[in-house]
Structure 1
Amino acid sequence: MEFVPLGDSLVPKVAKLVNRCLEFEAVTPWTVNRCTILDPNYDPEMAVIAIDKGEPVGVVIGAQRTKAPPELVSREHGWLKLVVVEPRYMQSGLGDQLLLAVERALKSKGAKDVRVSDFVGWYFWPGIDLRYQDLIRFLGDHGYVKVNENVEYEVDLLGLRPSSLVLEKEATLAAKGYAFTVAPQDRRSEVIEWVHSNFGPLYSHEVSETFRHDVPSVWLALKGGEIVGFSAYRTSELDWFGPIGVSEEERRKGLGSVLLYKSLLSMREEGRRIALISCNPHLFFSQIPSIRGVRDYWILSKKL
């Protein structure tokens, strides 16, 4: 058994390890790369891989906000993005060793607490799926307690059609001078700055990811040519929807509902079969008729 940092050659093997050990996941090498090497906050010292006979059998990946977004940089807080160990190795104490190694690295770099696993912008999941009871128990035995929760809606896009109620709202809004359009590349800076000003750096980071596509995957609500709302999709992952937001003075007029449906229909037209929407429990998304599943997540935390 040896312990090594994450390298490019291990990324596909780590993805396979996750999918073997966590039965409700379908992680790709892109996801592992996005959450580690492509994260500007990535620290190789906090990605510890256990190797046995040439294959990874356990991994714990930690993080701190050291670079991005710059407004949120702080070494006082740490995160665990990923905790996975082959079941046959759990009784050997391997999970304890990996967890302790990353916790020590976080503490040595100033972290006073650590959360699992909502490192917004570069996370695998917005928490721990409640069905992973053994993982929750393992972390609980190491002093982690629940501090928050999230849900993820799985929307079936096959057969999705425009809602007549939403079409009526759009017509009413158009008569009042509102318009909806896909953001063009030449408005990139304006869109990102508007989202940052109204919703903060985490939302603006997600929206910036939509402009890596030739046609940005973000819808805008406009009034007199000025942005009053947005809805993003295909941000960090192709099946992800969100974030979405409307300026405070323009809320409760139906703009959000129109933006939501336009984005979901765009995802369907672009060939996506499902949309995954992560959020705190929120009744806004209950208007979607084709929600076929809900995943419940716990966010855990511990003082170091």
Structure 2
Amino acid sequence: MHIRPWETADAAEVAALCAAGLPLDPYAADYPGMLLRRQGIGLVATDGGMIVGTALGSNRSEDEGSLDLLVVAEDFRREGIARRLVTTLEHRLADQGATRIVVEGNAPYYVWPGVDLHYTSAICFFEDSGYERGRCVVNMDVDLDAISLDTSDDEKRLLAGGIEIREATEADRDALHAWLSAGSGWPPAGWPPGWADEAVASLGREKAGCHLALSEGKPVAFCAYGVNQPHIIGPMATDHAVRSRGIGMTLMKRCYADQRAQGIAVAEISWVGPLSLFSDRLKARIRRCFWQYGKPLKAEVSDGVE
């Protein structure tokens, strides 16, 4: 078994590996290409020239790395392949200055907000590999045929109060990114890192989009969808100054209407909270639960690629 860097020619084989190895994920074949939109570390494990495992990682900050994807073919599990892939990735990240690695999604491009509890072998791997368990986060499903997506009355009400609701376009890219980067809407720490890039990544892309609320021509709320997977809603946020007016729900329903028009019957809200709000308003139900993990990295390591 040989560990080497991911190459462009590996794309189709790695996509097939992900599709077969991640049965809970209908868009798994698209994951490698999506994650590699940004510069990161891609590794594959080969046996007799056949790719039997892959690990992808990236930098979250100067001193923190992220394990973004880990898949090993079913027939080659429990042979130490995952451990060798992850150890090599840890070494590469440490060589780049990371003192810690996390498994919790690295916006704007990520697959999950942690490790799905139903992927038992993955949970066992991280528990046995020195990773510390952190928060539990969830995704919720929304049946788009079970709720009304008509927002016309809400949009009229909001417009009368000075809030314009419309679809975002490429012309909004700079203003949306600047607003989210400034962090004025979520004191004291500002909007979560990566949201600005994640929001604008939805613009001008097939099966993705974003809807905005504007006050005096400036963004005060947004909801994006399809950034990493067509059926996923998020991120979304509303400025504190205009909360409790139904803006966020109006924007979400507009996104859901777009998704339903694309043939999506069930949408998924990623990394969601507060749970009761979405359960009450959208009949959303918890579908997937994820544990987040982290581990300190040693500074003096070798590359590890054979």
TM category, shorter: 0.7 to 0.9
Are 1:50 and 2:35 an aligned pair? no
Cα gap change, 1:279 to 1:253, in 2 (>3 Å): same
2:156 and 2:92 mapped to 1: Cα distance? 56
Letter aligned with residue 219 of structure 2: I
Gaps of 5+ in 1: 66-72
Q: What SS does the corresponding residue of 1:107 show, helix, strand or coil? A: helix
Match of 2:109 in 1: 122
| Map of 2:22 onto structure 1 | 22
Partner of 1:297: 290
Determine the structure 2 residue equivalent to 1:253: 245
Q: CA 1:292/1:13 → structure 2, altered by over 3 Å: closer, same or farther?
A: farther
Letter in 2 for 1:13: E
CA distance in 1, matches of 2:192, 2:260: 29
Tell me what 1:175 maps to: 160
In structure 2, how many angstroms separate the alpha carbons of the residues matched to 1:262 and 1:27?
Answer: 23
Number of residues of Structure 1 aligned to a counterpart in Structure 2: 289
Is contact 2:107–2:193 with CA below 8 Å preserved after alignment?
no
Q: For each residue in 1:126-166, what CA deviation from the matched residue of structure 2 results, as whole angstroms up to 9, or x when unmatched?
A: 11100112211111111112112221122222454236xx6
Question: Cα 1:221–1:14, aligned 2, differ >3 Å: closer, same or farther?
Answer: same
- 1:123 and 1:181 map into 2 onto residues whose CA distance is 27
> How many angstroms does 1:29 deviate by?
4.4
Shift of 1:11: 1.7
Q: Which of 128, 136, 144 does residue 123 from structure 2 map onto?
A: 136
Instruction: Rate the CA distance shift 1:200–1:91 in 2: closer, same or farther, 3 A.
Output: closer
| Amino acid across the alignment from 1:156 | D
Answer yes or no: is the 8 Å Cα contact 2:231–2:267 preserved in 1.
yes
Q: How do residues 94-109 of structure 1 correspond to structure 2 at under 5 angstroms?
A: 94-109=81-96
- Which residue pairs with 1:4 in the alignment? 4
Q: Distance in 1 between matches of 2:207 and 2:290?
A: 32
- Kindly indicate whether the alpha-carbon contact (under 8 Å) linking 2:18 and 2:28 is maintained by their aligned counterparts in 1: no
Q: Does 1:229 align with 2:221?
A: yes
Query: Taking structure 1 as reference, are residues 12 and 287 closer, same or farther at Cα in structure 2, changes over 3 Å only?
Result: farther
Change (3 A) 1:215 1:194: farther
The one-letter code sitting in structure 2 at the alignment partner of 1:266 is D
Q: Relative contact order (C-alpha < 8 Å, sep 6+): which is higher?
A: 2
How much does 1:215 deviate?
10
What's the CA shift for 1:267? 1.9
Q: State the one-letter code of the partner of 1:179.
A: E
**Counterpart secondary structure, 2:24:** coil
Deviation at 1:275, TM superposition (A): 1.9
The C-alpha deviation readout for 1:178-207, integer Å capped at 9, x for no partner, is 221112332322222222223355111012
RMSD: 2.4
2:174 maps to amino acid = S
Task: Using the aligned pairs only, state the percent identity.
Answer: 27
**For the Cα contact (< 8 Å) 1:157–1:290, is it kept in 2?**
no
For 2:177 and 2:212, the matched residues in 1 are separated by: 12
| C-alpha displacement of 1:27 | 3.6
**SS of residue in 1 equivalent to 2:236:** strand
Normalised TM-score (structure 2): 0.84
Which letter maps to 2:173?
R
Query: In structure 2, what residue type is equivalent to 1:55?
Result: M
Question: Secondary structure at 1:195's aligned position in 2?
Answer: helix
SS at match of 1:294: strand
Residues 132 and 266 of structure 1, relative CA distance in 2, 3 Å threshold = same
Q: Distance between the aligned counterparts of 1:94 and 1:34, measured in 2?
A: 23
